Structure 1
Amino acid sequence: MEDKNRHSTDSNNDHSQPCYFGVTPPHSLAVPKLQDLKLTKDLKTALKPHGMFESIQELTHMKEILSKLNGLVEQWVREVSIQKNIPPLVEGHVGGKIYTFGSYKLGVHNRGADIDSLCVVSMHIDRSDYFTSFYQLLKGQSEVSDLRAVEEAFVPVIKMRFDNIEVDMTFARLALKEIPEDMELKDDNILRNLDRKCVYSLNGCRVTDEILRLVPNIDSFRLALRAIKLWAKSHGIYSNVLGYLGGVSWAMLVARTCQLYPYAAASTIVHNFFVLFSNWPWPKPVFLKMPNNSVNFGFQNWDPRVNPSDRYHLMPIITPAYPHQNSTFNCSQSTRQVIMQEFRRGLEVTEEIHTNKATWDKLFETPNFFTKYKHYIAIVASCSTEGDQLKWYGHVESKLRHLTRALEFNPHIHLSQIWPKSFSPVEPKPGRHSTQWFIGLVFAQCGMNIDLTPDFSNFTAMGK
């Protein structure tokens, strides 16, 4: 059973280290007061209408899906092993396993969210096998729809809907002859002799596991993280691909708050989250633990003293597993400015909540993006078939942050903010499947004629 109030952590198994979680001592060891517990109960109640908790039936369904996928991986590994003339006595023991990471593994999976998973296999299975024979095996399953392979991604992935649940599955081939059923991924030595794609595929699980290990109170962490995720999505600042913060970044910020207030209730963690990060002196990095520089398998840790490119990162939040990376490398001046505005607004609202001047519902209200700015740009992605549009949508979305970054470098533009949610056209064209995004603009001066054609031309050329 998980100990929800763990009293010390030791990321390097060095008993000379101080007995507290994180890189600095806690700010407070105060325990919750009755008012804190009441606000926490109110917070949980406020989250429920937003689908932030799964039912027992939904959890059971996801477990069944993962079990089926694990069975398919085992079947596929056996078939490939036979094709590669692995001896029968060995073939039955090589193994292959599905691991989970992200919100599902953190225990904060909300209704309708996807499952992040990792397929781990032994050394005689190649990535090319994964994207050919395993892809074909999935294609033949009646439960699978919207199947697509994204081999060119930084972390290659197979995406699908499995029995109406979105599943993203990455791949890692270990330099081992077999994958034991009870194998854990926390040992840095499993990265030895692996290529970059396998290492970064593994890091999804390794980072998630470390976050859970570095949090003093799991229950408070999970409830506070559910609240912060809903707040960030409601306020249009939840999207790694568009230059905001993604799920792992939000989880690390909440985890760091928990480290500084190890006995606090979730309601206090949420308030202190805004206190802490509305005043954070970026680009000072956020660490859950200091990087272990004694491990070196040829992959760089984030370190601006050594890597010149790291010096330009604007909101560095450093992952707690080797190779330690900045999870917010897509962040731009504009997205940081928008995030900081929302941090400050979140602090104002939570202070009202803690003084009984507002309820939690106010924190989760979605602002009207379309009244915030005077000027907007619409980007439309359109295809003639639904299947092509699914791929084109993902491709265009992955390039949008380059457009917003180009716009913020335009001397006539003070701020560009993209809203992460996409929209269907109000008047769709017959025979076309379309999606559109909107960017709000603040110009440095009013009353000027500004030509943005070069920025748009560069963006459309990038998308081809």
Structure 2
Amino acid sequence: GVFPAGHVNMPGGQQPQKHYGITSAISLAPPRDIDHQYTQKLCDAMKPFGVFEDEEELNHRLAVLGKLNNFVKEWIAEISELKNLPPSAISCVGGKIFTFGSYRLGVHTKGADIDALCVAPRHVERTDFFQSFFEKLKQHEEIKDLRAVEDAFVPVIKFKFDGIEIDLLFARLALQSIPDNLDLRGDSILRNLDIRCIRSLNGCRVTDEILYLVPNKENFRLTLRAIKLWAKRRGIYSNMLGFLGGVSWAMLVARTCQLYPNAVAATLVHKFFLVFSKWEWPNPVLLKQPEESNLNLPVWDPRVNPSDRYHLMPIITPAYPQQNSTYNVSTSTRTIMSEEFKYGLSVTDEILQGKAEWSKLFEPPSFFQKYKNQTEKINVVKLCRRDSSTCTLKSPPLKCFLLLLFVS
């Protein structure tokens, strides 16, 4: 493959190594035995949190996705017949399910839902998906809790298929047929598409590009599992609350992997905290140099769009049209995350010096640890006992706690 930057000159006349990302690596050091040992300990520390699925659960997901894929092909063939396509065309019309998000990245946890995309040829309309395909799903005895959200920013059909929750998007491409080996990464497939199809394709295109831009997928996956678990345990995993969502965490980990291409997960977790505790925001995190495209879609570019200059923590998706995935971040949430990066660095320093166990990294923050005296603690309690009828979040104490953090 071609990578978005030049070469790293290796000592001793070795072959130059291609490098990943927009700068050369910080270190090409290979892992030592001790790094492998720390990585094994990291895996062991994550197991009690249900982050790894067993073989049986993984196979169940594969079987369900296989059934759904066949179901889509069957439906597209039926629609093609109704629209009077010739039999020769119907036999090769295709159709395909793509996955994206945590499942596609290979970092989903036990019981997590699957983000999927149904890709159809040009004669299949969006209305067909929300009408005839929805009806076809309704007839299937293994499908439960079926609901369509057709007017969402990214329209979706949600359902449970044999116990697995699936969010299914739809994209109609300007192609006569959808082959099994279709690659969504090229920008030309976006030409002449409806904006809802472009948005629906974005998740797959971003996920595929992230995987393409990391030097070692297995090291990336294990590191991302650790960082996601850490962020959830520390209460900073939420796009809605102004922190970071799954895609943003994935891009930060991917950038760390680019900077330390030969490191294993234990080292990468430590380097993640090192890099982002020192990052000079609002400098953007980029996995590749944004490429120009003549499709004229709006992209993140502070030189062109004045509103983009106010983004506090830009993390830019690597697929066209490039977007900032962290537009909800505020000065307060950024400050909280910066403190957490520094705390993560100090804990991983201790772990890699043999002074602490990995379990320390996954300890949740004490509710009162940020407050220095009893008066402040009393104020927190008073604030959280207030009438919560005006709170819009599902957990009023959380809303009040965040409010207190933001004003303190």
Please say whether Structure 1 and Structure 2 have the same fold, judged by a TM-score greater than 0.5.
yes
Contact 2:247 2:325 in 1 (8 A): yes
Contact 2:4 2:21 in 1 (8 A): no
Quote the sequence identity (%).
56
Deviation (angstroms), 1:159: 1.5
Which residue does the alignment assign to 1:322? 320
Contact 2:6 2:19 in 1 (8 A): no
- For residues 208 and 406 of structure 2, the distance between their equivalents in structure 1, rounded to whole angstroms, comes to 45
Which residue does the alignment assign to 1:442? 404
Query: Using a 3 Å threshold, how does the CA distance of structure 1 residues 445 and 439 change in structure 2: closer, same or farther?
Result: closer
Matches within 5 A, 1:296-307: 296-307=294-305
User: Deviation per CA, 1:389-440, whole angstroms, max 9, x where unpaired?
Assistant: xxxxxxx9xx75xxxxxxxxxxxxxxxxxxxxx56xxxxxxxxxxx986331
Contact 2:299 2:323 in 1 (8 A): yes
Matched residue SS, 2:18: coil
TM-score, structure 1 as length reference: 0.78
Matches within 5 A, 1:42-441: 42-293=41-292, 295-369=293-367, 374=380, 375-376=383-384, 422=394, 438-440=399-401, 441=403
- For residues 439 and 217 of structure 1, the distance between their equivalents in structure 2, rounded to whole angstroms, comes to 42
User: Deviation per CA, 1:264-316, whole angstroms, max 9, x where unpaired?
Assistant: 111010001001111211111000001001x1212122101011221121111
- For residues 23 and 278 of structure 1, the distance between their equivalents in structure 2, rounded to whole angstroms, comes to 20
Contact 1:9 1:20 in 2 (8 A): no
Give the CA RMSD over aligned residues.
2.5
TM-score, structure 2 as length reference: 0.89
Which residue does the alignment assign to 1:10? 3
User: Deviation per CA, 1:324-378, whole angstroms, max 9, x where unpaired?
Assistant: 1111122222322222221121112111111112111111112244776713377
- For residues 211 and 254 of structure 2, the distance between their equivalents in structure 1, rounded to whole angstroms, comes to 8
Matched residue SS, 2:160: strand
Contact 1:288 1:320 in 2 (8 A): yes
Which residue does the alignment assign to 1:454? none
Amino acid at match of 2:336: V
Query: Using a 3 Å threshold, how does the CA distance of structure 1 residues 196 and 147 change in structure 2: closer, same or farther?
Result: same
- For residues 188 and 21 of structure 1, the distance between their equivalents in structure 2, rounded to whole angstroms, comes to 20
Q: Give the unaligned 5+ runs of structure 1.
A: 1-7, 382-395, 401-421, 424-434, 447-464
- For residues 244 and 357 of structure 1, the distance between their equivalents in structure 2, rounded to whole angstroms, comes to 30
Q: Give the unaligned 5+ runs of structure 2.
A: 8-15, 371-376
- For residues 173 and 269 of structure 2, the distance between their equivalents in structure 1, rounded to whole angstroms, comes to 39
- For residues 57 and 105 of structure 2, the distance between their equivalents in structure 1, rounded to whole angstroms, comes to 16
Which residue does the alignment assign to 2:12? none
User: Deviation per CA, 1:153-194, whole angstroms, max 9, x where unpaired?
Assistant: 222111222111111111111011111121111111111101
Query: Using a 3 Å threshold, how does the CA distance of structure 1 residues 225 and 26 change in structure 2: closer, same or farther?
Result: same
Which residue does the alignment assign to 1:19? 18
Contact 2:51 2:109 in 1 (8 A): yes
- For residues 345 and 239 of structure 1, the distance between their equivalents in structure 2, rounded to whole angstroms, comes to 19
Deviation (angstroms), 1:18: 8.6
Deviates more, 1:365-374 or 1:344-353: 365-374
Which residue does the alignment assign to 2:11? none
Which residue does the alignment assign to 1:384? none
- For residues 144 and 439 of structure 1, the distance between their equivalents in structure 2, rounded to whole angstroms, comes to 39
Matched residue SS, 1:99: strand
**In the comparison of the two structures, how many residue pairs are matched?**
388
Deviation (angstroms), 1:19: 2.5
